[in-house]
Structures are given as structure tokens and as C-alpha cells.
């Protein structure tokens, strides 16, 4: 029997970092997104993250590492994620296979694709499972577009940190 992802308890957290000539004026962001899908068999997960559901959860002045409430331009950032960064992509697809304490993960966003291997923590229960871990994704590999800012003085670092905590239930 396949287990489905409990979207209410599962989440993906993406951390972006600014770079460029005026990066010190920018915010680094923590973006959260619910994930849906299922565990097929004992070790293969097929999941999806809706781009429109990505929300800026926290921000910090670039390099400060003191996370707090989102910056005042939260709504504009969320709109740019959908309209510019992942233009034309409604869902980011994730396929993962777990073997022991490692997962092979393939992330597809439209024509962009990245495959990686990462350590995970897997807990199994009666009719449930939980997978936690973190990895780094390349926005270039996913063919994400840099959001437009004047003169390109602020950009995103190509590599974003991703933490995931995925709960499966029957």
C-alpha cells in the first residue's frame, strides 16, 4: 500500500542568499513550501511543490544571520518567484529513492533538472514514515531566471540550501 505525504505536517525550506554590488542592501530569504505526493513501494517517493504556494517565511539583512519576520516587500518577492524565477513552471517535481541513510533525488522544474545524492534520516512506523534531510540545489540547473533588479546590482547566489521534513501516512 502506498503512503501519501501529509502536506499539513511536511515542508520544504529554501534559503536564498543575495550577491552582487549592492548585496548589502538586500535580504537573504527563507522560503517555505508545502509538498504533496506519495511513497511508492518501500523506498521511492514521487512528490510535487506548487510554485504558487512558496511563501517568504523569514528574512535577514544579507550576511547578518539574524532571522526575523519577512521584509516589507514579501508579496512582491513571492510574485517574482512565480512570474520571473520559475516563469511558466507551476510545479517543481521531485523523485527520490532512499537506500539506507542516503537518498538519490531528482528535481525537475520545467526543462531544468538536477540530480543529487544526500544523507537522510528515515524513520518508519506502523503505516507511516518520516524523511528528513538537506541538500543544495543549483538554480541554473533548474533553469530558474534571476529576478530583475535595476542594473543587475543584486542577484541570487546560484546555490540554494534546501531542508526537508516529509511525513508519510496511510
Cβ contact 107:137 at 8 Å: yes
> Distance between CA atoms of 94 and 73, rounded to whole angstroms?
29
Cβ contact 162:14 at 8 Å: yes
Q: What is the pLDDT of residue 23?
A: 82
With a pLDDT cut of 90, the percent of the chain lying above it is: 73
What the chain holds in terms of domains, given with CATH numbers, is: 3-169 (2.40.128.110)
> Distance between CA atoms of 12 and 135, rounded to whole angstroms?
11
| Beta-carbon-side half-sphere exposure of residue 142 (alpha carbons within 13 Å) | 25
> Is the C-alpha dihedral spanning 169, 45, 50, 28 positive or negative?
positive
Task: Quickly count: other Cβ atoms within 10 Å of residue 165's Cβ.
Answer: 16
Average pLDDT score over residue span 5-29? 91
Cβ contact 92:107 at 8 Å: yes
Identify which has the larger pLDDT, 36 or 150: 36
pTM: 0.91
Q: What is the pLDDT of residue 100?
A: 87
Q: What is the pLDDT of residue 1?
A: 57
Confidence of residue 169 (pLDDT cuts 50, 70, 90): very high
* String of DSSP letters for 67-102: -BSPPTTHHHHHHHIIIIITTT--EEEEEEEEETTE
Q: What is the pLDDT of residue 154?
A: 81
Average pLDDT score over residue span 32-61? 93
Amino acid at each position: 500500500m502506498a503512503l501519501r505525504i501529509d502536506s499539513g505536517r511536511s515542508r520544504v525550506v529554501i534559503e536564498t542568499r543575495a550577491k552582487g554590488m549592492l548585496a548589502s542592501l538586500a535580504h537573504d530569504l527563507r522560503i517555505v513550501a508545502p509538498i504533496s505526493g506519495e511513497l511508492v513501494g518501500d523506498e521511492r517517493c514521487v512528490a510535487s511543490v506548487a510554485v504558487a504556494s512558496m511563501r517568504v517565511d523569514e528574512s535577514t539583512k544579507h550576511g547578518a544571520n539574524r532571522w526575523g519576520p519577512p521584509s516589507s516587500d514579501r508579496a512582491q518577492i513571492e510574485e517574482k518567484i512565480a512570474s520571473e524565477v520559475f516563469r511558466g513552471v507551476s510545479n517543481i517535481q521531485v523523485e527520490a529513492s532512499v537506500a539506507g541513510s542516503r537518498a538519490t533525488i531528482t528535481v525537475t522544474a520545467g526543462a531544468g533538472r538536477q540530480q543529487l545524492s544526500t544523507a537522510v534520516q528515515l524513520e518508519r512506523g506502523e503505516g507511516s514514515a518520516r524523511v528528513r534531510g538537506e541538500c543544495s540545489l543549483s538554480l541554473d540547473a533548474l533553469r530558474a531566471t534571476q529576478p530583475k533588479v535595476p542594473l543587475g546590482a543584486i542577484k541570487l547566489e546560484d546555490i540554494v540550501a534546501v531542508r526537508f521534513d516529509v511525513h508519510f501516512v496511510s
